[in-house]
Structure 1
Amino acid sequence: MKNQLLVILLFFCYTVVAQQHTITELTIEGHKKTKTAALLKIIKIREGAPLDSLVIRQDISTLKRLPSIAHADYTVKKIAEGYEVKYTIAENFTIIPSANVYTTNDDEFAFRVGLYEFNLLGQNITFGGFYQDDIYSSYGVNLRAPFAFSRSLGFALNFQNLTTQEPVFLTDGTADYRYNNTSYEVLGLYQIDFRNRIELGVNYFNEDYTYKSGATAPDVPRELNVDKILYKLIYEYNNLDYHFQYVSGFKSLLNFQYVHSTDDVLTNFVIGWNDFLYYRRVGAKGNWASRLRLGLATNAATPFAPFAVDNNLNIRGVGNIIDRGTGVLVLNTEYRHTLMDKKWFVLQGNAFIDSGSWRNPGGDFGDFGDSQNFRMYPGVGLRFMHKRIFNAVFRIDYGYGITADATNGFVFGIGQYF
């Protein structure tokens, strides 16, 4: 009898304690465009669940990573039945134009403009497209729905018709080709946990090279039209924390691809690269940001090598695709300092150094140490930022080369460089 009374007493005590540490009321406020159901699909906290501060903080970090949300916070209040948890959200304006413009001291000018909705139907779906003028016209359309099926599972669809003038580096000089890439891509998106996600997909594309001018070689065709299939794997580890314009933490992004070609000139190849990004707050107004990119591809002795040296990819001020290689080692590092911080507007200045080296097609790892392949471009820039519009960062950078045969020039764009 005493044992039965003890069991009943212990059960009663456990029930009382459990009730006292249970979330009995969950409230989300501050959002207007984003659907409540879409937010509930993403967060993990639920009414009736135990109060867990770690899960709540992960929810807040997850919400702040969404394009639709400028900032998120929470409060916990003890009420008679248990605890009330309230998430307070400040939304972003999410119909955003995009723009990238660059020049060099060779009077080269190119631009890309676009328009994207990052919260279509209030479901955190991204949809939009771009137009590019880089001697030739190009365009593309993108759809990304990371939470289409659940908190962890979504998809992406991409189409682009990209046409550019590409330099092809031959033994006797450089040739200019008109290059067209028409591609159709489908990706599956899977969120493993709070910090890890993967993308798997396939891309069918056609590459069309047409000789325009410059050097020639008997073993390099003047016309190429090749169908290819690309299999893609992306793995991301993300431990970044955002507070408006400030970022801190570490992120790693691996992109691995296998490309199957239908032509012997452009053979099958493997390519992979990893971006390591590190951000650190410096005092009250400073932010140090760095990106290290390591990449390798099948080391074929081809003038159509996959890694390019380019203004908008890796070295600010260097120009439009001035070299190619089958390996890449690039370090971008910059210090960002807030010069003005108002209710909605931020002016930020930055000083940077972009540096990198490439492995020649068919070369060896010693090419990374060759002074002919190494480039270093220090520079300065400004950032004009809106706190309540997603990715509303208009950037101007001026890079000045200090290595052999260097150029200099401005790079304009929307969003931080990295």
Structure 2
Amino acid sequence: MPDNLADPAFHADPFPAYASWRREGPVREVQLGSGGIAWLVTRYEDARQALTDPRLAKNPRGGNLPSDPIQRALSSHMLAVDPPDHTRLRRLVSTAFTARRIEALRPRITEITTSLLDAFPINQPFDLIDAFAFPLPIQVICELLGIPSDDRDAFRAWSNVIVGGVAYQDEFPGAATAMVAYIHELLAARRRAPGDDLLSGLIAVRDSEDRLTEDELVSMVFLLLIAGHETTVNLIGNGMYLLLSERERWKALCADASLIPTATEEFLRYESPVETATFRITTEPVTIGGTTIPAHAPVLVGLLSANRDDARFPDAGEVVLDRPQNPHLAFGHGIHYCLGAPLARLEAHIAFAGLTRRHSGLRLADPAATLAWRPGLLLRGLFTLPVTVTPG
């Protein structure tokens, strides 16, 4: 029987299993919560190979989309397709994520960060995820797209279900249907009254007479909403957990803000916000790490495991805030490398700078408490991070 990735003990602490698998069977069959079987790639070099191998396809059906309109609307974005469709879709949206456009967001991200930090209660417990790690990136992506931020709680509820895997399978149809309907309403409103936001830009985008289809447009907005905040929520939350659970790390970062860029990369490596890359399917037998995966088999690339591989990272099991060389795979690798990585990094840098500067008295509300990690194989993040702030 393959190892069961749906085991609650695995989700609570997957690292012993990952370490064992990297040693004893780095490419192996695993059981999914749905009852299905997939092949899991766990070592760093094997993961890099898998992420760039065109024989591991996102859509081996050759462009045939699901007949169900909701599934089609959620699976027509660039993360779910192969070239040449992927190339076309990425080109059409990449102009919104240039380095200059992202840097132009710095003042507004700083303003949002300051407002959230101002609202922290003093000397009473609160959840840092709810108070800071979630509202910062969701506010940014809502403003970037031109979506009312008042709807962010609905996004969070839908997103938690959609990315939560088998734990939320009964709720998935309702959440997916509601989110797709909402996106259709947003698009209709922008067509009536275009603005200077990204949503209006996606509707109007044209490159060599090429346009996004309606399914592609809905699916791209869906992807930007989910990916545009989920990874950053986890990056900030996981990073603060690593800092506050070992206060010497927190003190070091508070004392030296120049560590923030390398520390952010280390948080991405050590507690990768995305645990596994989205599914790929072999189009023919593929040999990775000495193991041949048969044709038409689903493959998961373990980013979290690869980023803890001692063969690539010295002291991989240690948090090194000033790690000089850190080519982690937290944002993927190859043609599907995360388009929003510069935005996530900018948000994280501003967030950690603000937290260390304004609230150096931040600490875990109960250092002995066992915190719960969200279920599912896609994301790696905490449900809550209870903290308190003491002055000074």
TM-score under structure 1 length normalisation: 0.23
- Give 1 or 2 for the bigger CA radius of gyration: 1
TM-score under structure 2 length normalisation: 0.24
Which protein is richer in helix relative to its size?
2
Report 1 or 2 for greater relative contact order, CA contacts < 8 Å, sequence distance ≥ 6.
Answer: 2
Which protein is richer in strand relative to its size?
1
